[in-house]
Chain A
C-alpha cells in the first residue's frame, strides 16, 4: 500500500494519529484495585483483613503510647517513673535504662579500667567489619587479625595482670624472632631452598628484596604493630588484673559469642573433614562427637562444663568460672558448625577433588587451596545462621551464674531503686531491641550474601 492510497482511502472514520494512552481502569490498577486484589479478594479474605486490622488498631497505638508518648526519659530514681509521684499515666521507664546503661555494657568491670573494654570493642568491630564487608582489602590479614590477634589482644586487655603481661611479652618475643628470621630470609633466600624447592626459589630471587616473602612478612609486621600498641598500653596506663567475676553485661555476651565463633569455626571445619574422611576411626570419632553434642541441650553441656570440667583436670588447673561456659559453648557450636561445613563439602562437585588430585596436591593442600575456600564461601549463610543461634544461646550462661547482658537486666529488676510497675516491661523491651538488632542485622547480611552467591550462579 502506498501513501497515496491511504490518503485517498474512502474510510473517513479511520484515525490518522495514535490515540492518547488511557489510564488502566480503576478495577485493575491503582490503589483501589490493589486494595481489592490484596485485601478484599474473597469473603474469607475480607474477614481476615478486618480481623488483622482490628488486631493492629487494638495493639499498635497502645504500644506507641506506652513506649514513647507516656514514657519517662530522664530521672534519677523510681520516683520519676511512679504515676502517683509524676501525676500522669506513666509508660516505659527509659530513665532506668539510661541510669543503668553503663552497667548493662560493662557489668561490674572497674570504672577506671573500662577504656580497656572499649578498645576491645573497637578492635572487635574492626575485625567483624573487615571480615563481613565483602570488598574489604587484604582479607587474609583480616582473617589473621580476627582469629589470632584479636583473641590475644582481648585476653591481654580484658584480664590484665602479671600473667597477661608475661604472655604479651612472650608473643612479642616470638614475633620479633619471626621478624628477624624474615629479614634474614629476604636477603639470603637460599637458606630455605630444600623446603620450598628450586623452582620457587628462582621465582623468589627474581623479586626485589623487600617483596620477597611478602605475605608472611605482612602478617608479622601487623602482629608487631598490634603487640607494640598493647605493650604501650601496658607500660603507660598499666593493665592491672580484673578478675572475670567482675565482667558482665554486653561485654560478656559479645565475648562468649566471639569465642564461640573464633574457636568453633576452625574446630567445626576439622570435624567436618573428619566426618567426610575415608579413615574409619577418624570418621567414627567425628560422628560420635557431632551427634552426641547435637543430641543434648546446651544447658546440660553448660552444667557439664560447670560441674564436671573441674573434676576432669588436676585440681591445681581448675578452670576459671567464665572459662568453663566458654569451653562448653565453643564445643557446642563446633558440632553445629561442622554440619554446616559438611553441607558445603558435599556440595563441591567431584571434579574439584579430582582436579586437585590430578595436579598432585596432597590432602591438606587440596583442602586448603581448592576445596575449603569454595566450600566455605557457599556456606557463609549457614555459618551466619548458626552464629545467630549461638548469639541467642549466649543467654543460657545466665543459668550457670555468668553475668551476661540478660542477667544484668534481670539483676537490675530486683533492685528497689528502680522498682516501678513499668520497669520490667522497659527492661525486657530494651533487651529485646538489643538482641533483635544484632540477630536481625546478621540475618539480613546472610540473605544479602545468599543473593550475591546466587547471582554468580545465574546464567
Chain B
C-alpha cells in the first residue's frame, strides 16, 4: 500500500490507483468470496441434511440418552438421563483431568526446569534427557504407552497390589479407602477450612509487619500448625469420627472405596509428563532471561541460593514465563481431548463420540464441542492477560 505517495500527490493518483478505493474493492471482493463460501456451504448442508432426512436443531438435548458412562461427577444413568446431561458429564470429566493436570504439570515442570539449570551435572543431564525425550514423542504414543503398556498389564482384581493405608491397585484402577464422616465429623472439615483461611490472614498480616518493622515471622510453621495440626486435634477431640470403607473383593471387581479408573490415570500421567516437558523449557528460558547480575547482587547481599531463587530470580522470571505458561495450560486442556483414544469419558469421547453417533447430528454436536473449547481458551487467556498486566505493573 503506497499510502505515503498518495498523500504527497493526492491529485495525481487516478481513481484506479487510489489505495483507499483499492482497499475498499479488495475488502468487498474478499467479503463476497467468504460470504459466497459460507452461503454455499450452508445451503449445501441444508440440502444434504434434507435429502438425508437428518434431524436438525438442538431438540436432541432433552432426549433420553440410554447409555452408561463409568466415570461421572454428577448423577447419570441410562434410565432417565438425557443427552444434555451426558454433555455435562463429559465436560466435567474434561475439566477434572485438565485442572489436576495443570497443577501437577506446573510442579513437575518447574522442578525439571530448575533441575536442568542445576550445577549438579547428573541432575541437569537427566532433566535434559527427560525434556528431549518427552518433547520429541507424540502425545498419543505416550498415552498408548501409559495405558496399554503400563496400566493394563497390572494384575487382575484378585491379585491386586496392596498399597499402604488399605489402597489397592489392579488393572481396573486404583482403589482408595472411602472416608465416612461420623457424628461431629463435619467439625474436622470446618477446622481444616478455618485453618486455610487463618493461614492466609496471618500471612498477609506477617507481610505487612515485615514491611513496617522488618520483623519476620515463621509463616511456614504457623501455616502448618493451622492447616494440619488443628484438624488433627479436632479429630482426636471429637473422638475419631472418621471411618473408612476399605475396598474388598466382591464378585468380579472390588467393592467399596473410591475407584480411580486406569483411563483417567493414564491420561493424567500422560498429559502431566508431556506438558511438564514443555513447561520445563519455558521455566528454563525464563530463569535464563534474568540477568546474571541479579543473582550476583543477591549473593553479594548475603542471600543463600534458595532465597535468591525464591525472592529475586523467580519473581522476575515469572514475567517472561507467564505468557508461554498460559498457552501450555491451554494446550494441556485441548490435548485432554486425546482421551477418546484410550476410552476416558471426556467431552469428546462422550459427546462427539457416543452422542453424535446415537443422534447423527454432526453439525450441532461438533459445533457445541468446538464452542466449549473456544470458550475455555478465551476465558483462560482473558484471566491470564489480567494476571499478566498485574505482574507487568510492578515494573518501573
Chain A residues close to B by CB (< 8 Å):
37-39, 41, 45, 48-49, 52-53, 55-56, 278-282, 285, 292, 294-300, 303-304, 307-308, 310-315, 357-358, 360, 362-363, 388, 392-396, 398-399, 406, 410, 413, 424-425, 428, 431-432, 435-436, 439-440, 443
Contacts and interface: CB of A to CB of B under 8 A. Distances in A.
Nearest to B357: A307
Contact of A282 (B2, B26, B362): B26
Given A282-B27, A282-B30, A297 B5 contact: no
Contacts of A279: 23, 26-27
A277 B146 CA distance: 46
B313 to A, nearest CB: 18
Contact of B138 (A315, A363, A395): A395
B297 to A, nearest CB: 22
A81 B335 CA distance: 36
Given A294-B377, A303-B366, A436-B136, 17 more contacts: A281-B27, A296-B373, A297-B373, A298-B334, A300-B373, A311-B45, A312-B41, A315-B48, A392-B138, A394-B138, A395-B138, A399-B340, A424-B148, A428-B148, A431-B141, A435-B137, A435-B138
A52 B341 CA distance: 34
B374 A296 contact: yes
Interface stretch (B99-107, B116-124, B228-236): B116-124
B2 A362 contact: yes
Interface string B149-167: 1000000000000000000
A300 B352 contact: yes
Point out which of A297, A394, A432, A436 has the most chain B C-beta atoms below 10 A from its C-beta: A297
Contacts of A432: 137, 141, 145
Interface string B228-268: 00000000000000000000000000000000000000000
The 10 tightest CB contacts between A and B, nearest first, are A295-B377, A307-B362, A439-B136, A297-B334, A38-B121, A312-B41, A392-B138, A297-B337, A281-B27, A395-B138
B343 to A, nearest CB: 12
B49 interface: yes
Nearest to A49: B122
Contacts of A299: 337-338, 340, 348
B189 interface: no
22 contacts: A38-B120, A38-B122, A49-B123, A279-B27, A295-B373, A297-B337, A303-B366, A308-B362, A311-B44, A311-B48, A357-B5, A360-B5, A362-B2, A392-B138, A396-B140, A399-B338, A410-B144, A432-B137, A432-B141, A435-B136, A439-B135, A440-B132
A413 B145 CA distance: 13
Contacts of B15: none
B340 A312 contact: no
B374 A295 contact: yes
Contacts, number: 158
A427 to B, nearest CB: 9
Contacts of A388: 136
A270 to B, nearest CB: 11
Contacts of A399: 338, 340-341
A443 B141 contact: no
Given A308-B366, A399-B341, A425-B149, A48 B120 contact: yes
Contacts of A314: 44, 47
Given A300-B369, A303-B366, A39 B122 contact: yes
A304 B122 contact: no
Contacts of B312: none
B222 interface: no
Given A300-B369, A300-B373, A432-B137, A53 B122 contact: yes
A300 B347 CA distance: 11
Contacts of B136: 388, 435-436, 439-440, 443
B370 A304 contact: yes
A314 B139 CA distance: 36
B1 interface: yes
Interface of B: 1-2, 4-5, 23, 26-27, 30-31, 34, 41, 44-45, 47-49, 51, 118-123, 126, 132-133, 135-141, 144-145, 148-149, 334-335, 337-338, 340-341, 348, 352, 356, 362-363, 366, 369-370, 373-374, 377-378
Contact of A285 (B30, B137, B335, B370): B30
Given A297-B337, A300-B352, A443-B136, A395 B366 contact: no
B215 to A, nearest CB: 29
A447 to B, nearest CB: 12
B144 A300 contact: no
A56 B34 CA distance: 58
B337 A312 contact: no
Contacts of A55: 126
Contact of A281 (B5, B30, B141): B30
Contact of B34 (A285, A396, A439): A285
Contacts of A398: 140, 341
A308 B363 contact: yes
A88 to B, nearest CB: 21
A52 B5 contact: no
Contacts of B122: 38-39, 48-49, 52-53, 56
A427 B48 CA distance: 43
A313 B37 CA distance: 10
A271 B130 CA distance: 35
Point out which of A304, A308, A312, A406 has the most chain B C-beta atoms below 10 A from its C-beta: A312
Contacts of A285: 30, 34
A281 to B, nearest CB: 4
Point out which of A281, A295, A307 has the most chain B C-beta atoms below 10 A from its C-beta: A295
A296 B377 CA distance: 8
Nearest to A362: B2
A428 B138 CA distance: 11
Point out which of A56, A292, A363 has the most chain B C-beta atoms below 10 A from its C-beta: A363
Given A299-B340, A392-B139, A311 B27 contact: no
Contacts of A443: 135-136
B329 to A, nearest CB: 13
Contacts of A39: 120-122
A37 B119 CA distance: 8
Contacts of A281: 27, 30-31
A428 B149 contact: yes
B241 to A, nearest CB: 40
A396 to B, nearest CB: 6
Nearest to A305: B366
Contacts of B31: 281
B219 to A, nearest CB: 23
B178 to A, nearest CB: 33
A318 B335 CA distance: 29
Contacts of A362: 2
A49 B122 CA distance: 7
Contacts of A295: 373-374, 377-378
B101 to A, nearest CB: 14
A41 B119 CA distance: 9
Contacts of A278: 1, 23
B47 to A, nearest CB: 8
B327 to A, nearest CB: 9
Contacts of A296: 334, 370, 373-374, 377
Contacts of B341: 398-399
A307 B123 CA distance: 48
Contacts of B26: 279, 282
B48 A428 contact: no
A424 B366 contact: no
Point out which of B120, B123, B138, B141 has the most chain A C-beta atoms below 10 A from its C-beta: B138
Contact of A428 (B141, B348, B356, B362): B141
